[in-house]
Structure formats: C-alpha cells, structure tokens
A and B are shown apart, each in its own frame.
Chain A
Amino acid sequence: MRDGINIAKSGIPSVALVTEDFWPQGDFVAQSVGMPSIPRVKLPHPVAGTGEVRMKEIADNVIEAIVDRFAA
C-alpha cells in the first residue's frame, strides 16, 4: 500500500494491490497519509508462495479491475 502511495506521490499513476487480509491496513495507511481514495485492488490472501499457476489465475482475475482503476 505504501509503495503505491509513494509512487503516486511522485506523480506516477499507481494502483496498489492489497490482499484481503491486509485490506483494513491499506485503509488505515491511506487515511493516515491523507490519501483515503488512493486506487487499490483487492487480491485473495495469500498470493506469495502459491505457485505460478495460482498467481496467473489471480492475475487473470484482477487485471480488468486494475486497468479500470487506471482508466477511472
């Protein structure tokens, strides 16, 4: 979440990818830095270590949402 915020602060459009277990923390961080509406997309948890097939499946499932957030 913080990476997305730092990238956005540098003027580069960004969408933070946040897993569902970390969604409340993402909200907290976004609020605390004064950017409550920073674009973010929810991923299932966990992603790391789930293997290439699963990660590709997750990517397929969220890619449209990511593009939508960039286009919004």
Chain B
Amino acid sequence: MSEFLEATDEAAALESLHDLSCTDGLPVVIPTPSRVERLVLASGLDADMVLGELGPAMGIATVEKVAVAAVMAGCIPDYMPLVVAAVKAAADPRFDLTELQATTHCTAPLIIVNGPARIECGPVASGFGALGPGHRANASIGRALRLCLINIGGGRPGVSDMALLGHPGKFTYCLAEAEEDSPFPPLHTSLGFDATDSVVTLLGCEAPHSVLYSDNADDPEDAEKLLYILSTGLANLATNNAIFTSGTALVVLGPKHAGVLARANMSRDAVAQRLWELTHLPTADHDYYGGQYGSRFSDEEYCVFAEPENILIMVAGGSGLYSMVMPNWGGASHANCAVSVQVENNFFCEIPGLSGNP
C-alpha cells in the first residue's frame, strides 16, 4: 500500500508534493485515492502487483504506485496499459535504468508506441508535432513514466540523477509510429513482434536533432544523399555513439523522407545497413578528438555502431523536409539498448460509476 499524505485542500496538497520533491516542477493532478483506484481498475491488474524495480533507489513499482504517477501526470484510464508497458520496459534489467538515471549524459527514455494500442490506448500522436505540446496522450504518458522514475526510482537532479544539463524530453518523451504513412512494415515487426501486436519500445536517448534534406525526385542520387545527411546527424564526433562506439540510436524519418527511400526500393533493413556503412568514420579523427576514448582502432576507419541493428528506424511527423535523429549514451552493461514490451490492453476495465469521478 502507498503512504498517504494529508492536506487541507488540493492547493495545499500540491505545495506539499512540490516541497517533497515528488513533482517534475510543474503542477500535478492530486492523486486522491479515488483517482488512483480508477486508474488501477483501468489497468485490469491488482494494485499490489509488482511490475519491477526502478533504480537507483530500487523502488518497487507496483501497479498502484504507477497509477499514482499516472494520475499526477494527467493520464486518463485509456492510457494505463501504455504506462504499465513503459514501466515494465524501464524495469527490464537490459534497460540499465539505474545507470541511465545516474549518468552525467542527458539521456531520457523515449516511449515509441506501435500497433493497435496507438489508437485504443490513446490516440498517441505520430504526425505533426508528435514530440511537441498539444497531444494529451503523448504528454501525459511520457510524464507518467518520468514521475515513476522520480518517485519510485528516486531520480532527482544533482543528487541521484547526475545529468549535467538534461533535456526537455526528460519531462515527457513519447510518440507513436506513423504506420499508415510509412512505406515500411511497422518498427515492432523488425523487433520480433507481429504487426497486430501492440508494443512499447523504450530507448534512452538524447533530445531529437533535426535533419534537413531537400529531396528531389529527379535526382538519381536522392536516397543516397538523404542517407548521407542522416548519417552525419547520427554519428558525428560530438555524439557518445561516435566516441564510445556503442549504443543504439534512433532515426525518425519524416514521411516525405521515407518516401525518398521507398522510391529507391530500400527496405528498413537496407536503410539501416547503408546508414551503418555511412557511419564508419576515420580512425585518425577518433584518435585525435577522442581523448581518453581514442587510440583503440588499427584500421583506417572504425564502426560507430556495432551492427546495423543498432540503428532503429521509424516513421513519424508531418510530411516535409525534416527528419530527426536521436543519438544515445551507449553506456552501462547493456550499452544503452532498446527494450520492447508487448502492451497488455485486453485486461482494460472501466467500472460504471467510477469513470466520471474527478
């Protein structure tokens, strides 16, 4: 059972939560017992069911504690299966959450949603401004995970979360793949799931870096030029990936850029393969600029990413001249890899009479 705080009214409760460092600095919805109960019911899971352990505080993430965070973040019941899946992914040992929360790097967990849950548990935006403000599900689902990392995982700036600056995605970082606008099969099918599955993929990564490419259908080198530009954003010497030579980075192709690659008859795997090739960089530069991480390679070029599979590719955003890349940290024992969890939304439960409660 969660501990209870008492306050004379909601304004006093909010101040109390701020004082206890239980918020992300923004106002939260007060997690009253009835609001929490409503989201626990929506999960279809027992309140005391353990979803995992969240470091560095090694707090136990029960469904009830996660529901508290979801209420505070402004989630509605529909979103709970996605919040639960995101927390499970964060608690997966392969995600190395303790190290991700503690690193001086600015990494934040990005939630990528694929499959029918994009609509059924949202809608989670995948188009214009999907990573910006104005999309309730994206904003509150990502924020719910962050509040779990603060209040269950104990990640607090300067004490246990040692990110030197952090980035705005540490408030919320969530989007869906624009599967209908993509020429490729959905991302999660590349990760071993069926297209009909609903999946949350969690990747600790930097803030999105914009990639401009002005495409030209008459240019026979159009796809290759786009891939070159993407590769320069993905793995320049300012990135951890290029210096540590580890990690998994994300490419978010805008639908127009995805179309450029489709016109060249490139599959998702072919795109990843070519980006992997284009992110082979001169060893001399790594030696010169790599500081304590340099002088590790003997060939003229070195691989930034271990395998093409370390470059994830998804499609999202409005259609135009921009895509985005998210390099990542590359540290910890699993090298900052992506973790995917199937969304269990068959248990969703809304109890008549509770749904209207504030």
Contacts and interface: CB of A to CB of B under 8 A. Distances in A.
Do these two chains interact?
yes
Interface in A1-47: 2, 22, 24-25, 28-29, 32-33
Contacts of A24: 158-159
Contact of A25 (B58, B160, B291, B292): B160
B158 A32 contact: no
A33 B159 contact: no
Contacts of B56: 28-29, 32
B102 A32 contact: no
Interface in B33-58: 55-58
Contacts of B292: 48
A32 B159 contact: no
A28 B291 contact: no
Contacts of A22: 162
Contacts of A48: 292
A51 interface: no
Given A32-B154, A49-B291, A25 B57 contact: no
Nearest to A29: B56
Interface string B131-170: 0000000000000000000000010001110100000000
A29 B103 CA distance: 13
A33 B162 CA distance: 18
Main secondary structure of the interface of A (DSSP, over half): helix
Main secondary structure of the interface of B (DSSP, over half): loop
A25 B159 contact: yes
A28 B58 contact: no
Interface string A44-71: 0000110000000000000000000000
Contacts of A28: 56-57, 154, 159-160
Given A25-B102, A49-B291, A32 B57 contact: yes
A63 to B, nearest CB: 22
Nearest to B57: A32
Given A25-B102, A49-B291, A33 B58 contact: yes
B188 to A, nearest CB: 33
A61 to B, nearest CB: 22
B292 to A, nearest CB: 8
B160 A29 contact: yes
A2 B56 CA distance: 10
Contacts of B55: 32
Interface string B269-282: 00000000000000
Interface in B54-86: 55-58
Contacts of B160: 25, 28-29, 32
A28 B55 CA distance: 11
Interface string B93-121: 00000100010000000000000000000
Interface in B238-270: none
A29 B55 CA distance: 10
A14 to B, nearest CB: 18
Nearest to A49: B291
Contacts of A2: 98, 102
B280 to A, nearest CB: 27
Interface of B: 55-58, 98, 102, 154, 158-160, 162, 291-292
Pairs A-B, 7 closest by C-beta atoms: A28-B160, A24-B159, A32-B57, A28-B159, A25-B162, A32-B56, A32-B58
Given A28-B56, A28-B154, A32-B58, 10 more contacts: A2-B98, A22-B162, A24-B159, A25-B160, A28-B159, A29-B56, A32-B55, A32-B57, A32-B154, A33-B58
26 contacts: A2-B98, A2-B102, A22-B162, A24-B158, A24-B159, A25-B102, A25-B158, A25-B159, A25-B160, A25-B162, A28-B56, A28-B57, A28-B154, A28-B159, A28-B160, A29-B102, A29-B160, A32-B55, A32-B56, A32-B57, A32-B58, A32-B154, A32-B160, A33-B58, A48-B292, A49-B291
